[in-house]
Amino acid sequence: MNKLEENRILSIKEFLTHAKDDLIKFQGTGFIEDSYSFVNEESRHAKYHQDENCSGLNSVYKDVEIPVEIKYKEGSSSLDIKRIEEFREWFKQPEITDLYKTDQKKFLIKLEIRFQLKNIPRLVEFENIGTKKITNLNEAQLEEKIDSLIRMASEFYNQSKANRTILVEHNFSKMTYFITSNKYKEEPISINNTGYSDKEVRSILMEFYTKIKKPLIDYLIDYWIVKLNPDLDFNNNILEQLDFKPCRICMGKSCKYVSIPNVFDIDKDFIESKQGFRNSEFQNKSEEIFYALPFL
């Protein structure tokens, strides 16, 4: 690590050490309240997934919007829960749902007779807003990961003459900003007197950074989050403590997922890039876990 990287990791440790008890809070929950806006909507728990390619994680949410004339009491901004449930029950009848999909003229006739409405309810589609990941390892497991990466670093240094020359003898292990920083990654490496081309230096730096240094930085940060945060039981599933539920499609299946390195710009504010638990590596024991909001 160079001094900047060390200071940024330690700044998170210091923040967690000295923060007041009511300063650090986990915001948000996996429990989603019914907004009474859609036909098939209900209060539910968001799901977490074992497989990034799970159909439940990547599917499109489709529903039918509840008309405002049904949703609100006449002349009021208050929800008319009774009428909403009445509309939902009516719409979910197989005959009505089928007409909505296949013959909206006939559907509209029945809608007008039943609710005195003249407009077809709007079909809505939402994609998941992206996946988030979080580490669910306990303190001892994180220590093991960190120790393993340190051993891997030593092995990587001695893997080849080029590795040792570039990373150790010329100290480029502390200069990974030549491949992470927007400021430096396109510029010639003026201090390169290793005997290897800039392309070769950057290739070795990228492999070292993605396989060892970046995971080590992430695990060190996770280690201090776990060690210094007493609010959650990190020996149990964090997501289920936050009211998420396991996906019935992919949980329990064995899966393999190859992470694409998230090479952040070292010139940017490091702490801001770590939102909450960070938007990266989310593991449950030895598996990556993904969760999607708001609908699945």
Give the model's pLDDT for residue 271.
29
Q: Same domain for 71 and 199? A: no
The answer as to whether 54 is a domain residue is: no
Same domain, 275 and 179: yes
| Residues 6 or more apart whose Cβ sits within 8 Å of residue 39 | 63, 64, 65, 66, 87, 88, 91, 92, 121
Tokens of 155: 């092995």
| Integer Cα distance of 168 and 175 in angstroms | 11
Helices 214-228 and 139-157: crossing angle, nearest 10°?
160
110 & 245 share domain: no
Asked whether residue 115 falls in the same domain as residue 142, the answer is no
Cβ neighbours of residue 81 under 8 Å, at least 6 residues apart? 36
Within-domain flag for 195: yes
Q: Is 53 a domain residue?
A: no
Same structural domain, 187 and 268: yes
Residues 146 and 79 grouped into a single domain: no
Q: Give me the domain span that covers residue 70.
A: 66-121
pLDDT of residue 236: 54
Q: Are residues 218 and 287 in the same domain?
A: yes
Does any domain span residue 45? no
Last residue of a domain, one of 81, 101, 121: 121
Same domain, 86 and 210: no
Same domain, 172 and 229: yes
Domain-embedded: residue 46:
no
Q: How many domains does the chain have?
A: 2
Give the pLDDT confidence score for residue 295 in this predicted structure: 34
30 and 291 in contact (C-beta within 8 Å)? yes
Let me know whether 72 and 172 are in one domain. Answer: no
Enumerate the β-bridge partners of residue 46. none
pLDDT per residue, tens digit, the chain (296 aa), is 888 888 888 887 777 776 555 554 555 567 788 889 999 988 887 777 777 778 777 777 789 999 999 999 887 888 999 999 999 999 999 999 999 999 999 999 999 999 999 899 999 887 665 666 566 677 888 899 999 999 999 999 999 999 999 999 999 999 999 998 888 888 999 999 999 999 999 999 999 999 999 999 888 888 887 777 656 555 556 667 667 788 877 775 433 332 333 333 333 333 233 333 333 333 333 344 444 433 33
